[in-house]
Structure 1
Amino acid sequence: MSYDYVRVERRDQVMMIGINRPEKANAFNLQLVSELSSAYAELDADDSIRVGVLHGVGRHFTAGMDLREVAPEVSRGKSLLAPGGISPWLVEGEQLSKPLIAAVHGKCLTLGVELVLAADIAVCAASTTFAQLEPQLGLFPFGGVTVRLPQRAGWGNAMRWLLTCDEYDAQEAYRIGLVQEVVDDGDHLTRATQLADKIARQAPLAIRAVLENARRALRDGEAAAELEMPRLAQRTFSSEDGQAGIASFRQPGGSAVFVGR
């Protein structure tokens, strides 16, 4: 597909998805939200792609929401997604079935923090700063931060930043678990791509099963996830990739080639 505010590039089995509105610090207008939701659906549907990397083009990851355009639609309760799109914040409708890594730099504000929380792994540049500003403006942050940040950071750490609207730095984001690695400025995209390439070398059916079960535990509780474990084990152990992995384990120095079936 062709986009105006999203840059999509395929690198082997990795899809690079760039938020591409640098002249507005990558702030989300209606078209950008719609296009990003379409890009996520494209990532999920492309059988040749195993991992996605989300990043910002230009000086910043994103300055958050373009209120002049987006606020009226939210006020009317309208969906911002493209038809058939997947919510980039994964709070409504279909969920991504493939891993997504966020590569963050510059300013990461409001909806940007929620994009990071919706990703499976996040890497940020050392000078990155974060803030959740909606309550300062009398607004509710609707991209999942009220659920995911307390899960990730603990109640006190989450409320410290959600209720004060203060800005915090990369080291604090790492301390509370918002990001998993902090790298030198300019290296965030390289490091995220390295991680994506490593994940892409694993068996895709097993990776999807791990994501599915872990997300089930977060959404529906541990008991629901435990009930699914035998089914997922049977599915992966009996798959072509599972059989290849078992065979390679029996051979000293052997390695499996995973096909994703």
Structure 2
Amino acid sequence: MTEPDSRLAETRIVTERRGHVLLIELHRPDKRNAADFSMLQQLSAAYGELDSDPDLRVGLVHAAGDHFTAGLDLADIGPRITESGIDYVDADGINPWQVSGRSLSKPVVMAVQGICLTLGIELMLASDIVVAADSTRFGQLEVSRGILPFGGATLRFPRAVGWGNAMRWILTGDMFDAAEALRIGLVQEIVPEGSQLDRALELAERIAAQAPLAVQAALANARLAVRSGDAAAEAELQPALVRLASSDDARIGLEAFATRTTARFTGH
């Protein structure tokens, strides 16, 4: 467990509930949303809130100002790296990069703009759907700073976009644009600058309108396949189906299908 940080009084993350969606805003625009220790702590706390509150079904991560993130604030983070690494997640929080601790059980949609560097890309890779403004520029720059990506890029980037595409950007530290990000599959949609949050919210609300237990089960099974292989995921398909079939949401879904009405799922 991390020790309380006096700078937590400084707002680095702003959350807003919009129905069943939790909007999570990186809020340090004067520093291009560079992540200091306080931001990492507050972001992990927001992910913990998303996961633990049954009324919340989807997270939407976005950023204030012109840029998504300039990456780590190395001046602040560097001195905090100990022999065991860096720890910023408290007992109720969840590592947003999903490389340690318990996993997030709910989907995350992201909206990015401006520059999106290093841990910003890794946050995208740990999320589920990404909408990018057409002017966004990306960079996995760690090798040019003398470190390696430690938020999951070495694991997820090759899986998401293919080995060669991932190594092209991880090993050179070069910048690339939104069109390239879409080509390789790093982002799912490109929209005109300024509309990325609205589009991401549309997608988040569309997900939130579905049966939450079913969404979480589908997400969990897909992640199980990635982390433990197809056989492990296949073995869980029928048990998961049985659990879902007895839920109130399954009944609601079948009734809506039969009556051609819109299902209003409860998450039970």
Q: Per the shorter chain, which TM-score range? A: over 0.9
Q: CA deviation at 1:244?
A: 1.6
| RMSD over equivalenced CA pairs, Å | 1.4
CA contact (8 A) 1:35 1:82 kept: no
Provide closer, same or farther for how the CA distance between residues 2 and 96 of structure 1 changes in structure 2, counting only shifts above 3 A: farther
Give the % identical residues: 50
Corresponding residue of 2:252: 244
Q: CA deviation at 1:2?
A: 7.7
* Most deviating of 31-40 and 65-74: 65-74
**CA–CA distance in structure 1, aligned partners of residues 128 and 144 of structure 2:** 28
**CA–CA distance in structure 2, aligned partners of residues 106 and 144 of structure 1:** 22
Instruction: Give CA deviations for 1:125-168 in whole Å, capped at 9, x if unaligned.
Output: 00000001111111011000011010000001000111111000
What is the 5 A alignment of 1:198-213? 198-213=206-221
Instruction: Give CA deviations for 1:24-79 in whole Å, capped at 9, x if unaligned.
Output: 11001111100100011011112221111000111110000011111222343231
2:88 is the alignment partner of 1:80: yes
Q: TM-score, normalised by structure 2?
A: 0.94
- Choose from 108, 112, 124 the match for 1:116: 124
Provide closer, same or farther for how the CA distance between residues 119 and 3 of structure 1 changes in structure 2, counting only shifts above 3 A: farther
Corresponding residue of 1:147: 155
**CA–CA distance in structure 1, aligned partners of residues 154 and 119 of structure 2:** 12
**CA–CA distance in structure 2, aligned partners of residues 40 and 127 of structure 1:** 27
**CA–CA distance in structure 2, aligned partners of residues 2 and 50 of structure 1:** 27
Corresponding residue of 2:30: 23
Amino acid aligned to 1:8: T
Aligned residues between the structures: 260
2:75 is the alignment partner of 1:56: no
* Most deviating of 65-74 and 15-24: 65-74
- Choose from 157, 164, 171 the match for 1:163: 171
Instruction: Give CA deviations for 1:78-130 in whole Å, capped at 9, x if unaligned.
Output: 31223321011011111111110010000000011001111110000000000
2:45 is the alignment partner of 1:71: no
Q: CA deviation at 1:183?
A: 0.2
Q: CA deviation at 1:256?
A: 2.2
2:203 is the alignment partner of 1:195: yes
Q: CA deviation at 1:220?
A: 0.5
Amino acid aligned to 1:207: V
Q: Which runs of 5+ in 2 are unaligned?
A: 1-7
Instruction: Give CA deviations for 1:177-220 in whole Å, capped at 9, x if unaligned.
Output: 11000000000000000001111110000000001000000100
CA contact (8 A) 1:203 1:260 kept: yes
**CA–CA distance in structure 2, aligned partners of residues 43 and 256 of structure 1:** 23
Q: Which runs of 5+ in 1 are unaligned?
A: none
2:266 is the alignment partner of 1:256: no
Q: CA deviation at 1:247?
A: 2.4
Corresponding residue of 1:215: 223
- Choose from 29, 35, 42 the match for 1:35: 42
**CA–CA distance in structure 2, aligned partners of residues 244 and 53 of structure 1:** 26
**CA–CA distance in structure 1, aligned partners of residues 72 and 17 of structure 2:** 27
CA contact (8 A) 1:34 1:81 kept: yes
**CA–CA distance in structure 1, aligned partners of residues 10 and 55 of structure 2:** 20
**CA–CA distance in structure 2, aligned partners of residues 44 and 2 of structure 1:** 23
**CA–CA distance in structure 1, aligned partners of residues 9 and 94 of structure 2:** 17
CA contact (8 A) 1:38 1:84 kept: yes
Q: Secondary structure at the match of 2:81?
A: helix
The list of structure 1 runs, each at least 4 consecutive aligned residues, that deviate by more than 6 angstroms after superposition, is none
